[in-house]
Amino acid sequence: MIDAPEPVSSPPVTAAAYATPPAPARALGGRTWLAMVAVGLVGQLAWVIENMYLNVFVYDTISTDPAVIAVMVAASAIAATAATLLIGAWSDRAGRRRAFISLGYIAWGACTAAFGFVGVPAGAEPIAGAAVMGAIVAIVVLDCVMSFFGSGANDASFNAWVTDSTNPGNRGRVDGVLSIFPLIAMLLVFGLLDGLTRAGDWKLFFGIVGGVTALTGVASWFLIRDRAIPASRDSVFAGVLNGLRPRTIRERPVLYLTLGIWAVVSTSVQVFLPYVIIYLQRYLRIESYALALGIVLILASVLSVIGGRVMDRIGKARFLAPAVVVFAAGLIAMTFARQMPVVIASATVMMAGMMASLATVSAMTRDYTPADRAGAVQGIRMILGVMVPMIVGPFLGAAVIAGAANTYTTLGVTQPVPGPEIFPTAAAVLILVPLFAWARARAIKRGLA
């Protein structure tokens, strides 16, 4: 039996709305919060595997060349963007999100489990010669397929449903909570599953996460209620193209400038994040890196939730600058951190600032999303906030790593390794944020939504 759609919480705000204090928060209800927490957290659990541990898997079993990771990240970003554009516009056309979320999570889980069947058997030496190309192609193709299903279900459909379900008065709080899910997901993986990766039991590792993701897809069918959103009158193809037209950009400058800020912050993140575990393991040689990251993630999560409440109180635009400054300060501190206590303190500042910055631009984007195009906007967000950063960031990081020429030796073989140079490079990218923020503030002042 299909549940009756629930009413939309509120329409998106206009530029004029910022002349008055933020709207009061509305209670979302226990079922809505449960759906957001369960579906959102498990989605981030699967993304941790794709964004971080898949890189370690490739590095340990297939190739230590950082360019391979960069190619894989870029290819998956393109696939994810295509999925979000298509599925987002399709869900707008349908006026419903639940089926896309549920079926997408099931397929996403199956693809994640399949990673365990690619590459080298546990305990074997990394493959060499002509065979390495076949393994690289296989892992990149599977990563693209997984990213297609994952982004269609999570980035397009689930994020659009969250926009449908919230209003400007509670989005800071909601995005503050959602922003900690990547950190909690990392904590769960490090605490519960990292031992499997150290033992080389990648098949069980990917199988557990894939199974949990698929089961969440089944549960989401019973948890999520579609909202009574106005269905888009455009065809799916027209819905995809609408957000890419210059006319649409001119009509909604605040939305696109906000997404520009998102692009800058996410590019900064992608300069260091794909390499950070390898950096801790191989460069700093912190054996208990999982414990260090656990402490960091707990502290950063608490700070992020508090930040979401502060954001709703003082306003998103005012909250953005301090969040970005904290992120940059943490990146600079990580450049010089070597001992474990200093690494923990620096990484906590870095991760808290990163999550606060991303939560702010996410909430700002929701505020300027048209009610009948929440899915399509997720596609534009994927281009500017995910695809471009995941292409530019990792390659920038790989170039810095290659230029620094840091190495480590294992079993008599010298291998390239990420060094601390990735952190100041990421901080330098953030210099572009004030430019976009200034242009956005001018557009709002001129009354351009």
pLDDT of 302 higher than 90: no
pLDDT of 121 higher than 60: no
Packing angle of the helix pair 316-336, 253-272 (nearest 10 deg):
20
Higher pLDDT: 153 or 449? It is 153
Q: What is the pLDDT of residue 204?
A: 93
Average pLDDT of the segment spanning 262-282: 89
- Reduced to 3 DSSP states, what percent helix, strand and coil does the chain have, rounded to the nearest 5? 75, 0, 20
**H or E element, residue 410:** strand 407-410
d(CA 422, CA 414): 20
Higher pLDDT: 101 or 13? It is 101
Share of the chain above pLDDT 90, in %: 32
pLDDT tens per residue across span 176-231: 788 788 878 877 887 788 888 888 888 899 999 999 999 999 999 999 988 877 77
Closest listed residue to residue 95, CA positions, set 263, 226, 219: 226
Q: What is the pLDDT of residue 12?
A: 44
Q: What is the pLDDT of residue 222?
A: 93
Please report which confidence band the pLDDT of residue 409 belongs to, taking 50, 70 and 90 as the band edges: low
Please report which confidence band the pLDDT of residue 449 belongs to, taking 50, 70 and 90 as the band edges: low
Q: Which two tokens stand for residue 436?
A: 């976009």
Q: Which two tokens stand for residue 137?
A: 């192609």
Is the overall model pTM greater than 0.75, yes or no?
no
Which letter does DSSP use for residue 446 in this model? T
Q: What is the pLDDT of residue 7?
A: 41
Packing angle of the helix pair 30-48, 171-188 (nearest 10 deg):
40
Please report which confidence band the pLDDT of residue 26 belongs to, taking 50, 70 and 90 as the band edges: low
Q: What is the pLDDT of residue 15?
A: 40
Higher pLDDT: 360 or 409? It is 360
pLDDT of 61 higher than 80: no
Map tokens 């989005």 to a residue.
171
Please report which confidence band the pLDDT of residue 410 belongs to, taking 50, 70 and 90 as the band edges: low
Query: Quick check: 72 and 56 in contact, CB under 8 A?
Result: no
Lowest mean pLDDT segment, chosen from 218-222, 369-373, 375-379, 398-402: 369-373
* Angle, vertex CA 393, rays to CA 444 and CA 100, nearest 5: 70
Lowest mean pLDDT segment, chosen from 22-31, 159-168, 188-197, 431-440: 22-31
Lowest mean pLDDT segment, chosen from 112-121, 141-150, 191-200, 218-227: 112-121
d(CA 344, CA 435): 31
Higher pLDDT: 9 or 409? It is 409
HSE toward the beta carbon, residue 386, CA cutoff 13 A = 26
Query: Quick check: 373 and 159 in contact, CB under 8 A?
Result: no
Q: What is the pLDDT of residue 408?
A: 66
Enumerate long-range contacts of 166-169, CB under 8 Å, 24 or more apart.
Answer: 166/9, 166/28, 166/366, 167/9, 167/10, 167/23, 167/25, 167/26, 168/10, 168/12, 168/13, 168/17, 168/22, 168/23, 168/367, 169/10, 169/22, 169/23, 169/24, 169/25, 169/26, 169/312
Four-way CATH pick for 29-445: 1.10.10.10, 3.40.50.1000, 2.130.10.30, 1.20.1250.20: 1.20.1250.20
pLDDT of 361 higher than 80: yes
Q: Could you tell me which residues are beta bridge partners of residue 415? A: 408
Closest listed residue to residue 180, CA positions, set 290, 44, 309, 276: 44
Average pLDDT of the segment spanning 286-306: 83
Share of the chain above pLDDT 70, in %: 88
Mean residue pLDDT across the chain: 82
Q: What is the pLDDT of residue 343?
A: 93
**H or E element, residue 366:** helix 340-367
pLDDT of 428 higher than 60: yes
Q: Which two tokens stand for residue 247?
A: 């006319």
Q: What is the pLDDT of residue 277?
A: 81
pLDDT tens per residue across span 29-58: 788 899 999 999 999 999 888 877 888 888
d(CA 270, CA 70): 10
Average pLDDT of the segment spanning 240-249: 80
Q: What is the pLDDT of residue 163?
A: 85
Query: Quick check: 160 and 230 in contact, CB under 8 A?
Result: no
pLDDT tens per residue across span 88-111: 888 888 888 899 999 999 999 999
Packing angle of the helix pair 388-404, 66-94 (nearest 10 deg):
170
